[in-house]
Chain A
Amino acid sequence: MTTVVAFNVAREPAAARILADGSVIWPSRKLPPAEDDHAALSAAVVLADGGELVGVTLGQGDPVWAAARGATRVLRVSDVVVGDDDSATATALAAAVAEVDGADLVMLGDSEHHPGLAPALAGHLGWPCVLAAAAAARAGEGVEVTRRIGGVEETISARLPVVIAIVAEGEETSPPGMKTMLAARRLPVLDLVATDLALEPVPPLEPVQTRPPSSAAARLFDGDPQQAVGELIKALRSEGVL
């Protein structure tokens, strides 16, 4: 029984640089962690329960980030990058997960900007998935997942293997310190390339045209009122309004 956590596999819009003509430039080296990544990793540490926790990422992922938060080793597909096609990203992740002996539980952040990533990963693995999860715990031979959908709290029992996508309830409260980060650099990282995983080289899907929107995009803050207010304040701060 091995727990896998996929991290740095979603692009947050804040990382994009948008030029005047509407074209988008994404960082080519390292992606910042997605907003749900820390919650997925925390949940994975609990589920691994002291056992092996393998981090899986792609070319823009930072193995040290996961190692400092509890991953015991990291596997990176270094020549595949996150793109707009969630299924393409999921294909590479699924191939990486298949390299992990005994993997039966995959955790990842349920990115608002890549809503297809977790379900496509489950599809490529041929496993069921539980999405929009708030927390997960071992229960016998399976896992018990809690989540809030439409104001209703659900508890779902799932057998292994399963993919669980976690939604963070807030920002990371206690990130690792410098000493931990330095120690994390010593943890093993296995760098693979797509051909090692028998992945066909597929060029990333690129838009044929981009332009600025004709009007500013509206953003809806819904769900739990307290959390929605927090998100609104965060957005106003990032826009420089507050």
Chain B
Amino acid sequence: MGEDWLVVTDSQDVGALSRLLPDAPVTAMVIGDRALAESAAVAGVAVVHWIEPDEGVPAEAYAGAAAASILASSPRLVAATALGPASRAVLGAVAAGCGATLLSGVTAVRDAGDRVEVTGGAAGGDVVATYAVPGRCARWWSLPTTYPPPTPQSWSPLWRPPTARCASPPGG
């Protein structure tokens, strides 16, 4: 079974996303400044991969490098909010890279053997839909932008320093 990943490019991402996978050990891919990486590191994730963009370079420019790191781990699922363009760019590259299903508006995930059951709003939130996503490659989804912001209670005291810093140049 592959790893579960969170893509973090905004300060609100970590709390929102860690609620989606409260018990699973997850790896964070952070694109942003050091403070953002540290906020991910204290939020209960197992490992942080951190890409610090050069000044004046949009975070999306590192989407290819971030996606390559994620894909190298044969991910089971990758989650991000739809808050930032960079998160979306990473997820698009991951989904294309391994043929993953790409769903938005997701609010809950449940492991169901060889499948993942994904629940979220459909038709603009007028309906709650559940999808059974089969297969072993990455499955990912994005959360609604209105997902509640993180609260201190959702944090754990776990501290793991960043394990890798990807210094790849912007590769698209």
Contacts and interface: CB of A to CB of B under 8 A. Distances in A.
Same complex origin of A and B: yes
B24 interface: no
Given A87-B99, A128-B61, A217-B124, A122 B93 contact: yes
A233 interface: no
Interface stretch (B43-51, B129-137, B150-158): B129-137
Contact of A122 (B58, B61, B92): B92
Given A90-B92, A124-B96, A130-B85, 10 more contacts: A18-B127, A123-B67, A123-B93, A123-B97, A128-B63, A129-B63, A131-B89, A213-B128, A217-B125, A220-B146
Given A84-B103, A86-B102, A115-B88, A22 B127 contact: yes
Contacts of B123: 13, 16, 18, 24
B58 A154 contact: yes
Interface stretch (A173-181, A187-195, A201-209, A224-232): A201-209
Contacts of A127: 172
B126 interface: yes
Contacts of B69: none
Given A205-B101, A213-B126, A116 B95 contact: yes
Contact of B142 (A22, A115, A128): A115
B60 interface: yes
B144 to A, nearest CB: 9
16 contacts: A13-B125, A24-B122, A84-B103, A85-B103, A86-B104, A90-B102, A116-B88, A119-B89, A123-B92, A126-B172, A128-B89, A129-B60, A205-B101, A211-B127, A211-B128, A212-B127
A220 B145 contact: yes
A156 interface: yes
Interface residues of B, number: 43
B58 A217 contact: no
A213 B121 contact: yes
Contact of B129 (A13, A131, A207, A220): A207
Which 7 pairs from chain A and chain B are nearest by CB? A119-B92, A13-B124, A123-B96, A217-B125, A128-B172, A87-B102, A131-B85
A187 B12 CA distance: 48
B126 A118 contact: no
A217 B88 contact: no
Given A123-B93, A131-B85, A113 B104 contact: yes
A219 interface: yes
A217 B102 contact: no
Interface in A86-123: 86-88, 90-91, 94, 113-116, 118-123
Contacts of B37: none
A154 B93 CA distance: 23
A84 B142 CA distance: 12
Interface string A19-30: 000111000000
B92 A113 contact: no
Given A13-B124, A208-B132, A211-B127, A114 B104 contact: yes
B32 interface: no
A16 B91 contact: no
Contact of A16 (B95, B96, B126): B126
A241 interface: no
A122 B130 CA distance: 27
A13 B105 CA distance: 13
Given A114-B104, A115-B88, A210 B127 contact: yes
Interface string A134-169: 000000000000000100001010000000000000
B92 A212 contact: no
A183 to B, nearest CB: 35
B142 A116 contact: yes
B64 interface: yes
B94 interface: yes
